[in-house]
A and B are shown apart, each in its own frame.
Chain A
Amino acid sequence: MNVELLLALVTGAALFGVGIYGALSQTNLVMIMMGVELILAAAMVNLVAFWRYLHPDAAAAQMFVLIVMTVMAIEMAVGFGVAIARFRARGSVEMEEAAELKG
């Protein structure tokens, strides 16, 4: 197996693991969003690695990276919108204080 491809995939795997840890362990909404950003970053690393080492002539792989970047931007915009609304309503973005969202 190609060493560069393996290095890139392991980097993606590590970022994915760190992102999962962050998204599950943090109590603050903004910190949870940071974990999700790392998970999406891991997806981007894998896509670029697959493009470069498996299908360098397929521009569709690069297009998917742009789509993941779009998802990151959307996640930030909506996340901060929710954070502002929550902060206005309760004065905090701590998710442990948002148990009423369970219904």
Chain B
Amino acid sequence: MSAQTFFIGFFGLAAVWFGVVVFRTHSMVRSALALLFSQTALGALFLSMQAEFLGVLQIMMMATEMSIMAIFMVMFMMDPGGLGEMDMTHQKRLSLAAGFVAFAAAVAAAVFVDWGPVAGVAPDAAQQTHDLGIELLGRSMLIFETAGVTILTAMIAATAVAMPAVKRIGNK
């Protein structure tokens, strides 16, 4: 077994395990931290698959995103520490069945589909970043720009939705 196989298996298992912990703990702060660890393990998984730029980006982005999520969890939850052990789930059986069916279907697709010849080596990190830059500012420029404008629109929309209703009425 190569080191790459080991690390892909290890970080994959860590990502899934922390993903499960997100929904098993009663503490909302622990949930947010578990999701942070899950996403960080995914970043490490990307690094194991030699996608250096995406791996580092994933870790940086998710560290910020999940920290903000933890703050929101504390603000919004009635019992953020989970000391009351409130049950905040419904339709558990249906959800479990749906999750299992989705997992089984995806694994079946992964195993039974003929993915074609496997490539041996990936370009080095500098070449990857160069190629991605050329892709983003060349052929995929429109998609990239659309993503940027969509984020800007989402930020404005989120701010508008979150503003107090009294102010909005006052502006009319």
Do A and B actually bind? yes
* Per-residue contact bits, chain B 79-119, to A (CB 8 Å; 1 contact, 0 not): 00000000011111011101110111011001100011011
Contact with B along A51-75 (1 / 0, CB 8 A): 1111111011011011101101110
Known interface pairs A21-B96, A59-B132, A85-B161; A13-B119 also in contact (CB < 8 Å)? no
Known contacts A18-B23, A25-B89, A70-B150; is-contact A78 B15 (Cβ 8 Å): no
B147 adjacent to A17 (CB under 8 Å): no
Q: Does B165 belong to the interface (CB within 8 Å)?
A: yes
Which chain B residues lie closer than 8 Å to A74 at the CB level? 150-151, 154
Neighbouring A residues of B73 by C-beta, 8 Å: 30
Main secondary structure of the interface of A (DSSP, over half): helix
- List residues of chain B with CB within 8 A of the CB of A34: 22-23, 31-32, 35, 69
Nearest-CB distance from B159 to chain A (Å)? 7
B27 within 8 Å of A by Cβ?
Answer: no
Provide the residues of chain A in CB contact with B154, threshold 8 Å.
Answer: 73-74, 77-78
**With contact pairs A17-B106, A70-B151, A85-B161 given, residues A45 and B42 touching in the complex (Cβ less than 8 Å):** yes
The interface bits of chain B over 26-38 (1 if a CB of A lies within 8 angstroms of the residue's CB, else 0) are 0010011001001
In the complex, chain B residues 156-172 whose Cβ is within 8 Å of any chain A Cβ: 157-162, 164-165
Measured between beta carbons, the chain B residues less than 8 angstroms from A35 are 23
Alpha-carbon distance between A78 and B122 when the two chains are bound, in angstroms: 36
Binding site for A on B (CB under 8 A): 4-5, 8-9, 12-13, 15-16, 19-20, 22-23, 28, 31-32, 35, 38-39, 42, 45-46, 49-51, 53-54, 57-58, 61, 65, 68-69, 72-73, 76-78, 88-92, 94-96, 98-100, 102-104, 106-107, 110-111, 115-116, 118-119, 121-123, 128, 131-132, 134-136, 139-140, 143-144, 147, 150-151, 154-155, 157-162, 164-165
**Cβ contacts A to B, 16 pairs, < 8 Å:** A8-B49, A9-B107, A12-B106, A12-B110, A16-B103, A24-B98, A38-B38, A52-B49, A54-B119, A56-B121, A60-B135, A67-B143, A67-B147, A70-B151, A77-B155, A85-B161
